[in-house]
């Protein structure tokens, strides 16, 4: 069994975004991800943590280390109770932004991982789950 196989961190401030990146770095190193795969997962986590703070008003990052026989991976969940996303298809369009950013957050994060799941209800919040396999 993998140490530290699940847990959570608050994602409410800039410091929390940094802490989430550091945690994901430690988890990907524990899983012996290549440097490229570590960077992809850390980048996706950074983008989604920032979205959680900026657009969701803060929330939580949960993680699970996955061990499926020969396959090992990391699944992250970013959850908030903010305003939600009205148009999921638009939010996943390259170049579209609801703020002053470059519009790379959600679609960019999706490209960096093997599995991407987005669930949002306007007025209730958003949950994004990402998984990368070694």
Give the residue extent of every domain in the chain: 6-133
pLDDT tens column, 46-65: 999 999 999 999 999 999 99
CB 42 within 8 A of CB 22: no
Task: Summarize pLDDT for 27-43 with one digit per residue, the tens.
Answer: 999 999 999 999 999 99
Q: pTM higher than 0.85 for the full model?
A: yes
- CATH code of domain 6-133: 3.30.565.10
Distances 48 to 3, 24, 70, 71, 123 between C-alpha atoms, Å: 24, 12, 28, 24, 19
DSSP SS3 for 55: coil
pLDDT of 1 > 50? The answer is no
- The answer to whether residue 2 scores a pLDDT higher than 70 is no
Give residue-wise pLDDT tens across range 85-131: 988 888 888 776 666 554 467 998 999 999 999 999 999 999 999 99
């Amino acid at each position: 069994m993998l140490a530290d196989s699940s847990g959570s961190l608050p994602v409410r401030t800039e410091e929390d975004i940094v802490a989430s990146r550091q945690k994901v770095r430690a988890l990907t190193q524990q899983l012996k991800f290549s440097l490229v795969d570590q960077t992809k997962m850390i980048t996706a986590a950074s983008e989604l943590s920032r979205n959680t703070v900026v657009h969701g008003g803060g929330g939580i990052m949960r993680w699970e280390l996955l061990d499926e026989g020969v396959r090992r991976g990391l699944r992250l969940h970013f959850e908030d109770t903010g305003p939600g996303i009205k148009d999921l298809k638009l939010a996943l369009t390259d170049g579209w932004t609801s703020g002053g950013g470059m519009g790379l957050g959600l679609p960019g994060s999706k490209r960096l991982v093997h599995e991407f799941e987005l669930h949002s209800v306007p007025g209730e919040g958003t949950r994004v789950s990402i998984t990368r396999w070694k």
